[in-house]
Structure 1
Amino acid sequence: MQKKSFAGEIVLITGSINGMEAALVLWDLDGEGNKETSRLAQKTGATQVFVYHCDCSNREEVCEQADKVRKEVGDVTILINNAGILLGEKFCDVSDADFEKTLRVNFFSQTCKAFLPAMMTCNHGHLVSTASAAGLLEITDYYSASKCAVIGMMGAIDSELYHAGRHGVKATVICPYFINTKLAKGFQTESPRILPVYDAECAASKIMDAIQKEKFYLIMPLTSYFFAIKTKNSPLVSIPAVNPVTCTQL
């Protein structure tokens, strides 16, 4: 299968990923983290890097920064929604504020609406959203619900693009089990061979490959997909457990 090139694309990432030979636009609340990502991106081949401070869960700020990007950089052609939070509390124990925060960061921070119209106009672009295998497995209460919403939204967008005849605009949804970032330090799985915790660089490489091959789903590992089928057919099926900690996915 021929892989598409990132050359000449304008890639906006709400989070961090490396290795794209393209103009990168980075959005994050963490100013220092954004600068570090910029440095690493340039080191690994990015031709231009533009850094913006943006709270992706704030609609007004997203629209404001999106307009700024269009004026200063150009129309975004590849959008990677990468923000996410996991607080690790049980449904009955979570505060209303944390419940709303999880939905706001994991679902309402999806910035597709700010950039999709321009992609549809020129029939060229790619929307990517990082969901989670938890959105398929439904094992961590409200976190799973927030990621399930992302999966449903991306499926609906993909269908809408198809029926609108915008076949040049692609959609990809990433469903990793868990990724070993510094914020996920201490996260453990009881069955690492079946449901491994991925190294961040390995996960980033798989994500880039899925985008270049224009896959709709990237499920890591694929075993989580089969667990999802079994749990939907039989809620008594046992899934290898993880120790919940406060963490943010890749």
Structure 2
Amino acid sequence: MNFFLETLKLIVLLIYYLLESLVFLVVPGRKKNVSGEIVLITGAGSGIGRLLAIKFASLGATVVLWDINQEGLNSTVRLARENGAGRVHSYICDCSKTQDVYRVADQVKKEVGDVSILINNAGIVIGKRFLDSPDSLLEKTIQVNTMAHFWTYKAFLPAMVAANHGHLVCIASCAGFLGISHISDYCASKFAALGFAESIDMEMRALRKTGIKTTIVCPYVINTGMFDGVKAKWPRVLPILDPEYVAERIISAVRQNQEMLFIPRIFYFLYFFRSFLPVKAAVLLLDYFGGMEIMSTFKGRPKKE
């Protein structure tokens, strides 16, 4: 009897959740108020991190900015204060170093308070073939793009669990579910970050901590300088993304408690097809969209930026 009831419950809820997602696709859900929330953003000295800081500050949130680049961090602080109503705090932090993350996290908790929205945005990319990539840079990629998520969660998640309130945001990548030539380390780090974020989300659900939300963001190449030189094969179909657009989509996803965000939307379909297509067919699709040679023109962000 339990089998019958649980199967019936499964079918009913599956239909409900599918219909709910279709409705929200057409009619966006109500956006939550982030005014007064303490939002910590790693990699806030440039790119998407900087834009998110400005936008969250404008919504009245207290923003805590981490970056290894003092000059970039100072610029973000200035822009956030000019455009925002919330408080702005900045800290130099090397997210590749465990003890540095814990040390600065303790400083934030003492000086600002418990972080309620954590955005793991810091990331690096080498852009070389695997056999041409120095071991030190391979390790650095994993430390910044993956392991830093472990340490920030360890630092800030306990307070969220205690309050049953918080939001964990993982800025992953479309390279987090699809292997791409020349960025094997980057893909591995984003696969890991995505899997980690999903697993922690499942842990929170198992603990019945319904007040702690998770948003995983998987964007295509963004025009921020990180992937400078990369060109789209079919820009009308799959363009290099505008940073402002991406930042707006991320803010909306967080405020609507959206669990998974692919940018652009075509990746929802590619992600679906990837799950059952034969490998040769998936490679053919990847080649059609320019994924096989996308890194051939890669230059990357200048070291001074």
Length-normalised TM-score, structure 2: 0.78
Which residue in the other structure is 1:235 paired with? 279
Residue-by-residue CA offset, 1:177-208 (whole Å, 9 max, x unaligned): 11101343322121223322111111111000
After TM superposition, the runs of 4+ consecutive aligned structure 1 residues lying more than 6 A away are none
1:103-122 pair list within 5 angstroms:
103-110=142-149, 111-122=152-163
Q: Distance in 2 between matches of 1:145 and 1:117?
A: 27
Which residue in the other structure is 2:100 paired with? 61
TM-superposed deviation, 1:231: 4.0
Structure 2 vs 1, CA of residues 27 and 46 (structure 1 numbering), >3 Å: closer, same or farther?
farther
**Partner-residue secondary structure (3-state), 2:55:** coil
Q: Distance in 2 between matches of 1:94 and 1:167?
A: 42
Q: Distance in 2 between matches of 1:113 and 1:247?
A: 31
Structure 2 vs 1, CA of residues 95 and 59 (structure 1 numbering), >3 Å: closer, same or farther?
same
Match of 1:162 among 196, 201, 205: 205
Does the Cα contact within 8 Å between 1:77 and 1:119 map onto a contact in 2? yes
Which residue in the other structure is 1:19 paired with? 55
Does the Cα contact within 8 Å between 1:137 and 1:224 map onto a contact in 2? no
Does the Cα contact within 8 Å between 2:229 and 2:300 map onto a contact in 1? no
Q: Distance in 2 between matches of 1:219 and 1:67?
A: 33
Q: Indicate yes or no: 2:36 matched with 1:5.
A: no
Q: Percent identity?
A: 44
Residue-by-residue CA offset, 1:111-140 (whole Å, 9 max, x unaligned): 222100110000001010110001112224
Q: Distance in 2 between matches of 1:94 and 1:57?
A: 18
Give the residue type in structure 2 aligned to 1:152: G
Q: Based on CA coordinates, which of the two structures has the bigger radius of gyration? A: 2
Note the residue ranges of structure 1 that are not aligned, 5 or more in a row: none
Give the residue type in structure 2 aligned to 1:223: I
Q: Distance in 1 between matches of 2:260 and 2:172?
A: 10
Length-normalised TM-score, structure 1: 0.94
**Partner-residue secondary structure (3-state), 1:107:** helix
1:1-250 pair list within 5 angstroms:
1-14=29-42, 15=44, 16=49, 17=52, 18-20=54-56, 21-110=60-149, 111-139=152-180, 140-232=183-275, 233-236=277-280, 237-238=283-284, 239=286, 240-241=289-290, 242-244=294-296, 245-247=298-300
TM-superposed deviation, 1:222: 2.3
RMSD over aligned CA atoms reads 1.5
Does the Cα contact within 8 Å between 1:128 and 1:173 map onto a contact in 2? yes
**Partner-residue secondary structure (3-state), 2:130:** coil
Note the residue ranges of structure 2 that are not aligned, 5 or more in a row: 1-28
Q: Distance in 2 between matches of 1:137 and 1:226?
A: 13
Tell me: higher relative CO, structure 1 or 2? Use CA pairs within 8 A at least 6 residues apart.
Answer: 1
Query: Matched residue pairs, number?
Result: 248
Residue-by-residue CA offset, 1:25-69 (whole Å, 9 max, x unaligned): 000000010111111112222411001000111111111111111
Q: Distance in 1 between matches of 2:65 and 2:213?
A: 21
Does the Cα contact within 8 Å between 1:24 and 1:50 map onto a contact in 2? yes
